Chains A and B, each alone.
Chain A
């Protein structure tokens, strides 16, 4: 009962393609520009306008770095994907890639782009701290962060670390030549490509109308999870779909009465411009209300780490 990325040349013959693809690979070339644009659009008249603006700047820096110095996928990628397929493991799980990716160079590039314009004191302090830290120190912080511990380096530097790491992981995910195959009942709660938690889920239009995909916080992949089912514990007994002011809202929180967690769902048919990271970050008011009902977030936004 596992879920795995299978290389194209090893797909079993005769297997019916599923009506909707299980895995939507990231397109880094368009992803960051779209995210930055959405963040800027949402920041207008928003109480968190400054922060959404900063997030847009950092995403724009990611887009620039991608254009200037794209990642050359390591030669071992295909072999690793193939081995992981045999054993039902996520090929981009961070543990297998420690020290192999040039994310520290990307981090330096992101920091110098961000520091181009004058920054508020606390933000400047975080940039300085990262710029002055040794490579081994940054490596240790990144390892801890990827393992779910944001306290090691501090939550202030986490978005920068994550932005540099994510830039590498999204390009790796885009370079895989494979399909996602899953046995019935396989666990879909974390990303099948890199094992990171999702940011939010999206009910899509286009080639997959009405299908719900979870969006990975690290490698930007999207994987299919059926609707009307808790994305964390798979229960469908007591789900709530919470929204502010209108049941037709494009952003809702899907809560589960069994594991007491929630994850936001974005509906493209209500607003075609929704973007997982931007819309999740800009809807903190919904988090506040849903937490008051006794639920805790099971997602990870790359711009919001808590200790």
Chain B
């Protein structure tokens, strides 16, 4: 926090009575009479990165609510961040529609599975999802892991499974993805969702 040369003033609480307005005899009796009839609203502006693609455009998200425990915050507007060096306030049609994506009824909010041959998507728990993914990965890796190539050189690679990661990732997330994927011998990894 910087120390500034800006003074802080209380204008209305007692301040008005000794202000220019009062001293010039122009503080009307009803100057603040109607203030209580207004409803005070609080919004928040939050910086974030668009999740759609690897360009990584900066966005400003406007939400209602102050983050208090019992108040539910809702995003009501999203726009390009004019101060962001990548997009300088601009957004593509997908980015411009972000607020509808946030509130979409079709938005995926929990893990689902469609069994082989099945037609219905079925909701499962996160625990169950992790277990299933881990089991599939292990089965496939045990069956197809390549330790040595035709010349007998150790290669330790796993070519039958790949991983697609999020586009709006930080450096740290990218580092973690790389560590995880390479430690399993997986070669097919894409951290740039071209959707």
Contact = CB atoms under 8 A, between A and B. Distances in A.
Nearest to B21: A51
Given A245-B39, A285-B34, A211 B23 contact: no
| B-side interface mostly | loop
Contacts of A261: 6, 8
Interface in B1-39: 1-2, 4-13, 15-16, 18-21, 23-28, 30-35, 38-39
Given A20-B82, A285-B32, A234 B42 contact: no
B80 interface: yes
| A-side interface mostly | loop
B52 interface: no
Contacts of A293: 40
Interface string A60-78: 0000000000000000000
A252 B79 CA distance: 18
B128 interface: no
A258 interface: yes
Contacts of A94: none
A304 interface: yes
Contacts of A148: 5, 7
B66 A240 contact: yes
Interface in B34-80: 34-35, 38-47, 60, 62, 64, 66, 76, 79-80
A289 B28 CA distance: 18
A291 B42 contact: no
Interface string A195-213: 1010000000000111110
Interface of A: 19-20, 47-48, 50-51, 54, 120-123, 126, 148, 154-156, 158-159, 187, 189-190, 195, 197, 208-212, 226-228, 232-236, 239-247, 252, 258-261, 284-285, 287-293, 296-300, 303-307
16 contacts: A47-B34, A122-B24, A148-B5, A148-B7, A190-B4, A227-B82, A228-B81, A233-B4, A236-B47, A252-B43, A259-B1, A287-B12, A291-B12, A300-B7, A304-B21, A307-B19
